[in-house]
Chains A and B, each alone.
Chain A
Amino acid sequence: MSDTAKPKPAAASRANTKKELPEHLKAYKHVWVMVELERGVVHPVSWELMGEGRKLADQLKVDLAAVVLGPPGGTEAAVTDAFGYGADVCYLVENNSLADYRNEPYTAAMTELVNTYKPEILLLGATNLGRDLAGSVATTLLTGLTADCTELAVDAEGSLAATRPTFGGSLLCTIFTLNYRPQMATMRPRVAPMPLYRAGRSGRIQRHEVSLPEESIVTKLIDFLPDGTTGKANLPYADIVVSGGLGMQTAENYQLVRDLAAVLGAEWGGSRPLVQKGWITSDRQIGQTGKTIRPRLYIAAGISGAIQHRVGVEGADLIVAINTDKNAPIFDFAHVGIVADAMKVLPALTEAFRKRLAPAAMRPAAE
């Protein structure tokens, strides 16, 4: 029984109740974005959210604030970038206990900030860190949280309208948090575009001390095993993605997708059934329950274009679809289509790109 499973008539009737915010909640103002700083690196989803937060703050005519939590001396770049990406204010907590993400100190710091400075909207990335933290913070504050939003807006009355797919993406629903503050939402990486960076832009830094003695924290980080840099898929931030679906028919044929990806220096991925069949690993699944991608070029071979797949690729600049069925739903949202057998087109396409991209000196003399 999740937020999406509400019986409709009841929801509809409540939706019409005119809301008057209780007096003690009127003090909640401004839009906050949690800046996810892990091991010295800010997850880009924080800046994507900063872009969305900027729009909300402008509409509400309030400030946009960044929340930066980290170890002493380890937050400077994150703070500078937060202003560059649009924050007016930065709430900064520096503490040795915040050196690595752990739920306990992060929840304590975040809830204390919220209770002290009272934001009306709090946005976090729907990453492992963001999801781990958001659930704890929302439950501590006893407020509403809308997870994995695809769109954030402010309605005429100034309430946050958070839209997310429901039931695996067949439909979208818009969710409100009325009579509770802050209104919390998470958004997945690459759902929103990266905002422009304005170097030299600055703002007010509000430092806040939180007492987080290490002895009081039970969870200890005893090791960190970094991922190898090779062989690790990074589809969300790839420039070009080539993918295959069940139309590839066999695991062997899927090699054609990888061949094309290799020529383009692209990432390769696929639809969910390929993960279930074991042709690709789950970090290469594209769509609602996989990765959301935003490449400059997306080439989909033998994919029907189910809504769960569509929501993960709609942010691509150019979508090319190869499918034998001219009525496949993918042609409803692809920009360029080819009604043909992927097993024939993919090798030819790989060859065509190879020829076109080879430096002049390397081209066969006959050309």
Chain B
Amino acid sequence: MHIVVCIKQVPDSAQIRVHPVTNTIMRQGVPTIINPYDLFSLEEALRLRDRNGGEVTCVTMGPPMAESALRKCMTYGADRAVLLTDRFFAGADTLATTYALAHLVTKVTEHWGAPDIVFCGKQTIDGDTAQVGPGIAKRLGLLQLTYVQKIEHCDLAAREIVVHRRAEGGIQVLKAKLPCLVTMLEGTNDMRRGTMEDAFRAARAEIVTWSAAQAQIPDLAFCGLKGSPTIVKKVFAPPPRAEKAFQIGVEGKTAGDISETLVAEIFKRQPGLEQDLTKSAGADF
């Protein structure tokens, strides 16, 4: 079985700082991580491979330093990693990103065979659109199964897959055919630690690196900023609220006093709430 996993290297945004004067993001020195949502998909891919045999290929489009994220994937047990990197891809929105990634998957297919499943993360923590997966699926003509909680079974011989998909108000149990594109829901598995053997292999492994030309991306006009229908016109900080919070005095008061003042203040501001609450409280007795 051949599985392709799309991962993205993202800034560890818990540590992102915004420049107080220019309002731009200070990215220097911010550590990068594998997009956390992608790890659930990678782990699921590794489990399928362990069960069925075959290979997991991790791919990403990004700057040269994204190589380290791919190498990390190999320490978890991925069999191979491919980096698509070129200045032509800079500034891509989701449509341009999926154009490049879909062609990357096609190129990977030429080298190592067609994937039975392409995995994406549910979303990234920097782009945060959850649109790249569906976009890749559409461009490759793959069925898409998003927000998957569990892969119930995957039958290579019958080319059949059954998944539990999170929907509004419940779980859809869907049967589809391979090949398909799957995005896993967070929290559905725990990433393995990876063996010593994998760590050694990863350290020595060659990360396949392709430029746009090497990957034979057909038309650069569909890539990067040029190929992006959306345009960011303005970046700004959210405006502050006009006034600060009204403070309930606490000096020399007991918690009980403070609380009674607060309850009075809440109901003064939201009189309807008190009526509704008293009504429902009464109903309980």
Interface residues of A (CB under 8 A from B): 1-8, 10-11, 14-15, 36, 38-39, 41, 43, 100-104, 107, 127-129, 131-132, 134-136, 138-140, 142-148, 161, 165-168, 170-180, 218-227, 239-240, 264-265, 282, 289, 296-297, 307, 310-311, 317-321, 330-340, 344-345, 347-349, 351-353, 356-359, 361-362
- Cβ of B250 within 8 Å of any chain A Cβ, yes or no, is yes
Contact B146 A131 (CB under 8 A): yes
- Contact status of A104 and B143, CB under 8 A, knowing A138-B95, A318-B269: yes
Contact A167 B93 (CB under 8 A): no
Over the window 91-124 of chain B, the binary record of Cβ atoms lying under 8 Å from chain A Cβ atoms (1 yes, 0 no) is 1111101100000000000000000000000001
Chain B residues with CB under 8 A of A311:
238
Chain B residues with CB under 8 A of A107:
138
- Cβ of B197 within 8 Å of any chain A Cβ, yes or no, is no
Contact B127 A4 (CB under 8 A): yes
B45 to chain A, nearest CB (A): 20
Shortest 9 CB-CB contacts between residues of A and residues of B: A2-B127, A135-B134, A144-B229, A337-B245, A348-B255, A223-B173, A147-B129, A3-B93, A144-B230
Contact A336 B138 (CB under 8 A): no
10 contacts between A and B (CB under 8 A): A4-B126, A15-B233, A129-B167, A144-B230, A178-B231, A227-B170, A318-B269, A334-B245, A337-B244, A359-B285
Interface of A, helix, strand, loop or mixed by DSSP: mixed
Over the window 128-144 of chain B, the binary record of Cβ atoms lying under 8 Å from chain A Cβ atoms (1 yes, 0 no) is 11111111011100011
C-alpha spacing A166/B13, complex, angstroms: 11
Contact A336 B248 (CB under 8 A): yes
Contact B248 A168 (CB under 8 A): no
B163 to chain A, nearest CB (A): 10
A350 to chain B, nearest CB (A): 8
- Cβ of B204 within 8 Å of any chain A Cβ, yes or no, is no
C-alpha spacing A225/B235, complex, angstroms: 43
Residue of B nearest to A170 (CB): B18
Chain B residues with CB under 8 A of A136:
134-135, 137-138, 144
C-alpha spacing A338/B262, complex, angstroms: 9
- Cβ of B147 within 8 Å of any chain A Cβ, yes or no, is yes
Contact A338 B277 (CB under 8 A): no
Chain A residues with CB under 8 A of B29:
none
Contact B228 A2 (CB under 8 A): no
C-alpha spacing A165/B126, complex, angstroms: 10
Chain B residues with CB under 8 A of A361:
285
Interface residues of B (CB under 8 A from A): 11, 13, 16, 18, 23-25, 61-62, 89-95, 97-98, 124-135, 137-139, 143-147, 162, 164, 166-177, 186-187, 225, 228-238, 240-241, 244-248, 250, 254-256, 258-260, 262-263, 265-267, 269-270, 272-274, 276-278, 280-282, 285
Could you say which of B11, B167, B246 has the most chain A C-beta atoms within 10 Å of its C-beta? B167
B105 to chain A, nearest CB (A): 14
Checking B13, B91, B146, B262 against A352 with a beta-carbon cut-off of 8 angstroms, the contacting residue is: B262
C-alpha spacing A12/B32, complex, angstroms: 26
C-alpha spacing A352/B143, complex, angstroms: 56
- Contact status of A296 and B270, CB under 8 A, knowing A289-B125, A331-B244, A334-B245: yes
Contact A227 B169 (CB under 8 A): yes
Contact B175 A6 (CB under 8 A): no
Residue of A nearest to B137 (CB): A136
Chain B residues with CB under 8 A of A128:
146-147, 166-168
Contact B130 A147 (CB under 8 A): yes
Contact B90 A1 (CB under 8 A): yes
Residue of A nearest to B281 (CB): A357
Contact B187 A1 (CB under 8 A): no
Contact A5 B127 (CB under 8 A): yes
Contact B172 A221 (CB under 8 A): yes
A303 to chain B, nearest CB (A): 13
Contact B233 A222 (CB under 8 A): no
Residue of A nearest to B171 (CB): A225
A352 to chain B, nearest CB (A): 4
B230 to chain A, nearest CB (A): 4
- Contact status of A2 and B231, CB under 8 A, knowing A224-B173, A349-B259: no
Known: A11-B231, A170-B13, A225-B164. 8 other contacts (CB 8 A): A131-B134, A139-B135, A144-B95, A145-B230, A219-B175, A335-B245, A336-B247, A348-B256
Chain B residues with CB under 8 A of A1:
61-62, 89-92, 97, 127
Contact A318 B25 (CB under 8 A): no
Contact B138 A135 (CB under 8 A): yes
Residue of A nearest to B139 (CB): A139
Contact A166 B235 (CB under 8 A): yes
Residue of B nearest to A155 (CB): B233
Contact B131 A131 (CB under 8 A): yes
A16 to chain B, nearest CB (A): 9
C-alpha spacing A230/B248, complex, angstroms: 36
Contact A172 B225 (CB under 8 A): no
C-alpha spacing A4/B11, complex, angstroms: 13
Checking A3, A139, A362 against B228 with a beta-carbon cut-off of 8 angstroms, the contacting residue is: A3
